[in-house]
Structure 1
Amino acid sequence: MSTRESAPEEREPAVPINIVRGDATAEEIAAVVAVVAEHYVTEHAEAVADEPQRSAWALSQRALREPLRRELGWNRTPC
């Protein structure tokens, strides 16, 4: 692997930055990108998904039965 390539798990999708007013310098853009990237990493590390709550109905329902085997005839022997 060359120095230009990075592993797929390290590569993040590019996000376009549009400056709609004013004339930002390269240092200002770099500062904004650094702050937003750090905030994103922190938020991503602390994010936790809640476990879905199962209702009493969902807990009591039985699993579905297997589909009928059509190759077996009425007397359960192969045709």
Structure 2
Amino acid sequence: MTIKVIRGNPTPEELAAALAVMRARAAAMAAAPSGAPTARAAWSDPSRIAQQRLPQPSPSAWTRTYWPS
């Protein structure tokens, strides 16, 4: 693995820290199964938005909102 500093003048300690992070990420990627689905965070789960029933079509349906309050 070759690291090239494009900008700045990092200290040897900063380079060692960056290399440690890169190696840890590479080890984590290698240890993870390649075909397994990743877990979604709860805030990004679309099902939490539509937990209630949607309003039914009616003449006044435009006054109701999709987002539960």
Question: What is the TM-score of this pair, normalised by structure 2?
Answer: 0.47
Structure with the higher helix share, 1 or 2:
2
If you compute each CA radius of gyration, which structure gives the higher value, 1 or 2?
1
Question: What is the TM-score of this pair, normalised by structure 1?
Answer: 0.42
Q: Which has the higher contact order (CA 8 A, sep 6+)?
A: 2
